[in-house]
Amino acid sequence: MVTPDDGPDAAARPDPERSDPVPPALARTVLDSGEISRALTRITHEILERNHGSAEVVLLGIPKRGVPLARRIARRMGEVEGRAISAGALDVTMYRDDLRLKPARALEHTEMPDDVDDKIVVLVDDVLMSGRTIRAALDALGDLGRPRAVQLAVLIDRGHRELPIRADFVGKNLPTALTEKVRVRLAEVDEVEDSVGIVGSAPNGGAA
């Protein structure tokens, strides 16, 4: 599943389900709920502009936090287009390249709102880092059909790419150190106010 702090050291990464050991006070908030909302609104308009409307677009969120983001974009898109638009969910667990580094993980729900053949699929995730999750998502998508094009929307692009993958729509570019973690909180998943924060030692800060 996708984690908010997608990083190269996937094996050592803490389970996102577990409570963060860093107290909230140590997290530097980089986006508040209002800023997240405006970023998603902007992304929505960019998707519509780029694809000349919503007719051909299928939104697929990558669990866990990509799914509520995709749904929020779908809602905004529906408001603009004047019709109900739904987003789906694409679990990429079975396609991950790091499965053998940890005990078998529970699967997330996959839900296709529509046939993807000849459609423009917009993958939605919260944080883009190594690109490995998106690689897995592209493979998963390939087994479900043959979209005309695949685009990528992310709330945060924090750099540190390990694969030739880039986002088409970015909420915020956030340069980070590898020792830092980007923590995304969304009301639907985390039951707290929306926020994006950075936890861990600052770029030139103390020991990692």
In the complex, the residues that contact other proteins under the rule CB under 8 A are: 91, 94-95, 99-110, 139, 142-145
Looking at the Cβ atoms of 32 and 115, the one nearer to other proteins is 115
In whole angstroms, the minimum distance from the beta carbon of 110 to other proteins comes to 6
- Judged by beta carbon, residue 89 or residue 122, the one nearer other proteins is 89
Query: Considering the complex, what minimum distance in angstroms separates the CB of residue 24 from other proteins?
Result: 28
Minimum distance between the CB of residue 143 and other proteins, rounded to whole angstroms? 4
Residue whose C-alpha is closest to residue 43's, from 16, 70, 62: 70
Q: How far is the CB of 145 from other proteins (least distance, A)?
A: 6
Encoded tokens for 83: 């019709």
Min dist CB 140 to other proteins, Å, is 9
Q: Which is nearer to other proteins, 100 or 204 (CB)?
A: 100
Beta bridge partners, 181, equal 199
Query: Which CB sits closer to other proteins, 145 or 159?
Result: 145
Sequence-distant contacts of 185-193: CB under 8 A, at least 24 apart: 186/65, 186/68, 186/69, 186/126, 187/68, 188/68, 188/71, 189/64, 189/65, 189/68, 193/33
Exposed, middle or buried: residue 62 (CB in 10 Å: 0-12, 13-18, 19+)? buried
Gyration radius (Cα) of the chain, Å: 17
First and final C-alpha spacing in the chain: 26
Q: Rounded to an integer, what is the distance from CA 132 to the centroid of its chain?
A: 12
Q: State the angle between helix axes of 66-81 and 33-50 in degrees (0 to 180), rounded to the nearest 10.
A: 60
Q: Which is nearer to other proteins, 41 or 110 (CB)?
A: 110
Closer residue to other proteins, CB minimum distance, 26 or 99: 99
Min dist CB 136 to other proteins, Å, is 9
